[in-house]
Structure 1
């Protein structure tokens, strides 16, 4: 008895490619951009869980304390020359961001539950990225408040120039700090980055470097605005890379 043979036509190349693309799209999760990811994480976890272990309370209290003592500190700054004052604003603009970022990074990465938290839906680095973004925004507002107080005590200061210097300094340091942290996330590297920032600025200002002082005193505000926008975009891009940072042989 002869068996009947069935002929099954193979799909064409176009059909095969469409099916492959459909499978890939279903199986591979597309990376979200930074702001939609942050918004989704905030909605699902909430502020209290994102700033758990009372870190958010420490952050809030420290901000209030700085805001209260800033008038007395700013009154002392009025004794400096204008170029010295701008140099100090640029130097100390990231101080709040530095303190909070170092605290949250060291407390999260050095916890005994680090490996377990890395397996959660939102891992350690994603929580750190959210906190760093929040710290940068709060630091910018706190610096602005301090500059308003300074302008009350010292009217000759150009508030808009001081604001641009402060904000540019904040985001420049944030970029250096975040880049160093992602390249080699060790405590000595973080300390070295902080030392280079403060030592470099102190040396440039104390030696009356003409280029350094000219940038602070004479650079058009339009250029400062462009630098601010560029540094803010680079900072967000680095935070987006930190979101998808996986501690796998140090590669991200």
Structure 2
């Protein structure tokens, strides 16, 4: 067909459209795929991006405020132990479960607020936002590490309560604590990403103790029975949903680009 078309061109004849050598379907798909790959590069995996960030920055740069973080964790844990001793001596088993559920996110909150509080008011905010990794991208990795540290500390805290009280079922206490942590942490990041003002960003944080304390005061028997009566598999499902929502929010932090004002 190609030789025939060349003969037509040499003789001055106009080749018919039927003689055009059209690409077949596989060639069309190959060219389309190459165009798409050039125009829309594949988004790297979240885990690979975090690993790349950690290798380039290192632990020291990610946690320049490590001394402050450790101090807050130790202070917060001391306060929780003091509160737990009071609850253990004055509350029944259901009350201890409620205490675990309400206070489990507090260590995470204390550490996370150090990073987020008055973030936009820093003198170096705009400079940090123009760096290779801006403050929100750093937060995506830091928040995952904070959650992991809070998770380990909370599990140890619940184990201590179970040993001290001899009334608390260890598995239920751990599931209560972990589900509470992930649900609150996902809610906290949701407020940070979507809140336009400080009140909206931290409003969800205030709702957690107010809502739980309000339910405990308004319906003490019903609230306590609910926490101690929910099946363990339901708490396991809450943990999976909360963890998935939290990881999703941390992934949004990695690509979050607020307007510089």
Alignment TM class, shorter chain as reference:
0.7 to 0.9
1:198 to 204, 209, 218: 209
Measured after TM superposition, the shift of residue 170 of structure 1 is 0.7
Change (3 A) 1:67 1:181: closer
Gaps of 5+ in 2: 1-9, 15-19
Measured after TM superposition, the shift of residue 231 of structure 1 is 1.0
Measured after TM superposition, the shift of residue 42 of structure 1 is 1.1
Task: Assess if the C-alpha contact under 8 Å between 1:74 and 1:149 holds in 2.
Answer: no
TM-score by length of 1: 0.85
Change (3 A) 1:115 1:19: farther
Give the Cα separation in 2 of the matches to 1:185 and 1:174: 19
1:49 aligns with 2:61: yes
1:212 to 218, 223, 235: 223
Measured after TM superposition, the shift of residue 188 of structure 1 is 1.0
Q: Which residue of 1 aligns with 2:6?
A: none
Secondary structure at 1:25 match in 2: helix
Secondary structure at 2:205 match in 1: helix
Change (3 A) 1:195 1:67: closer
**Higher relative contact order, structure no. (Cα contacts within 8 Å, ≥ 6 residues apart):** 1
Measured after TM superposition, the shift of residue 164 of structure 1 is 0.8
Q: May I ask how many residue pairs the two structures share in their alignment? A: 243
Gaps of 5+ in 1: none
Q: Which residue of 2 aligns with 1:235?
A: 246
1:180 aligns with 2:184: no
Q: Please say which of residues 99-108 and 78-87 is displaced more in the overlay.
A: 99-108
Q: Which residue of 2 aligns with 1:137?
A: 148
Q: Which residue of 2 aligns with 1:39?
A: 51
Moved over 6 A (4+): none
Task: Assess if the C-alpha contact under 8 Å between 1:63 and 1:142 holds in 2.
Answer: no
Task: Assess if the C-alpha contact under 8 Å between 1:38 and 1:130 holds in 2.
Answer: yes
Task: Assess if the C-alpha contact under 8 Å between 2:46 and 2:251 holds in 1.
Answer: yes
1:150 aligns with 2:128: no
Q: Please say which of residues 33-42 and 83-92 is displaced more in the overlay.
A: 33-42
Measured after TM superposition, the shift of residue 46 of structure 1 is 0.8
Measured after TM superposition, the shift of residue 71 of structure 1 is 4.1
Give the Cα separation in 2 of the matches to 1:81 and 1:225: 24
2:69 to 59, 84, 107: 59
Change (3 A) 1:26 1:233: same
Q: Which has the larger radius of gyration?
A: 2
Task: Assess if the C-alpha contact under 8 Å between 1:97 and 1:136 holds in 2.
Answer: yes
